[in-house]
Amino acid sequence: MKTAKILLMTLCSLVVLSCAKNKTYSYQEYGLDCPVKSIKVTTYEASSKFGEVVKGDLKRYENYLAEFNSVGNIITWTQYINDGDIFSVTKHKYNEDDNVTDVSIYDEDWKLEYNQSYEYKGILLVKFTRTFKDTTEEVYVNEIFRDGETIIKETTHHNGELISVVKYNKHDKTGTEWVRYDKDGKELNKGSSILNEDGKVTRYNYNDNDYYEVTWNEKGLPVYLKNAELYNSSYVSSFHYCDDSIFHIEYEYDNKGNWIKQTLFEGELKKPVTISERVIVY
């Protein structure tokens, strides 16, 4: 459960702010060319045998079923410990503009573990609230338009008390630049990103020395990662900075152009790490 919540909390600000300006749907985030009813991903350990990549044991916690609504937004995401035992279930709700309004994570006994809700002014996100056990964080998002430039500020309140302020000095189609301050105005950390023409992050910088890089193919799928990880065969994440990790990713596709097999290799010598197989229901 910890990994799922960390990813959700880490990506929330940048992803939601981006979606407010450039509308995307869940199926696109999963590397799909069109809306589908569901995808089921099963991941195995991989190794090289007689010059060929072969499947090994089933990877725990890296298997899931994602179910979508008619426009291609995810409504239920079920994570499995192995091929059958449920680890967690995540439910999504949307408004009439197809913007997410509620994300709830339940454990295997359907006990609510985590919730994140969103408030909008028109299509513009103005607030999201994170609730985990007895802890509540409220993040207020403000946009100020000045001479054609968009300045964005986030203020985060922990159980009602201001704890941090994030100011975006840049937030446009080419990338972002931001600085986070504590409640007294002292700088805590900073970051920036560079986007390609499709809005994909090609480089993300954190503070002065940490970074990760991503190369995408013509379908918008990651094929090369440096100092980054691939989470659940879909999301690029950066839990570990500057560890000199390198991953290569190769795909096989169905007749609709969506990937049905993904192989992850580590290092420049391309040591096989995992094989993920995806069943798509159209």
**Does the pLDDT at position 4 exceed 50?**
no
pLDDT of the residue at 10: 38
Report the DSSP pairing between strands 210-216 and 38-49: unpaired
pLDDT of the residue at 124: 86
Whole-number Å distance between alpha carbons of 272 and 140: 43
Q: Are 214 and 230 in contact (CB under 8 A)?
A: no
pLDDT of the residue at 210: 84
pLDDT of the residue at 21: 46
Tell me the helices (H) and strands (E) count for the chain, helix number first. 2, 21
Q: In which band, very low, low, confident or very high, does the pLDDT at 22 lie, cut at 50, 70 and 90?
A: low
Whole-number Å distance between alpha carbons of 108 and 91: 13
pLDDT tens digits, one per residue of 224-273 = 999 998 988 888 887 555 478 899 999 999 999 999 999 999 999 999 99
3: left (phi over 0), alpha (psi -120 to 50) or beta: alpha
Provide CB contacts within 8 A for 13, sequence distance 6+.
139, 154, 166
Query: In the chain, pLDDT over 90 holds for what percent of residues?
Result: 70
Q: In which band, very low, low, confident or very high, does the pLDDT at 110 lie, cut at 50, 70 and 90?
A: very high
- What is the model's pTM? 0.86
**Does the pLDDT at position 50 exceed 60?**
yes
Sign for the CA dihedral angle at 10, 14, 16, 19 comes to negative
Sign for the CA dihedral angle at 59, 216, 13, 205 comes to positive
Give the mean model confidence (pLDDT) for residues 212-222.
Answer: 95
Q: In which band, very low, low, confident or very high, does the pLDDT at 8 lie, cut at 50, 70 and 90?
A: very low
Give the mean model confidence (pLDDT) for residues 26-42.
Answer: 95
pLDDT of the residue at 122: 86
Render 159-210 in DSSP notation, one character per residue: TTEEEEEEEEEEEETTEEEEEEEETTS-EEEEEEEEE-TTS-EEEEEETTTE
Q: What is the dihedral of CA 8, 44, 212, 175, to 10 degrees?
A: -50
Whole-number Å distance between alpha carbons of 216 and 202: 8
pLDDT tens digits, one per residue of 155-196 = 999 988 999 999 998 888 899 999 999 999 999 999 999 999
Token code pair at residue 188: 């805590």
Q: Which amino acid is at 267?
A: G
Render 253-270 in DSSP notation, one character per residue: E-TTS-EEEEEEEETTTT
pLDDT of the residue at 239: 55
The b-or-e profile of 158-188 (16+ CB within 10 A means b, else e) is: eeeeeebbbebeebeeebbebeebeeeeeee
**Average pLDDT of the chain to the nearest whole number:** 88
Query: In the chain, pLDDT over 70 holds for what percent of residues?
Result: 88
Q: In which band, very low, low, confident or very high, does the pLDDT at 16 lie, cut at 50, 70 and 90?
A: very low
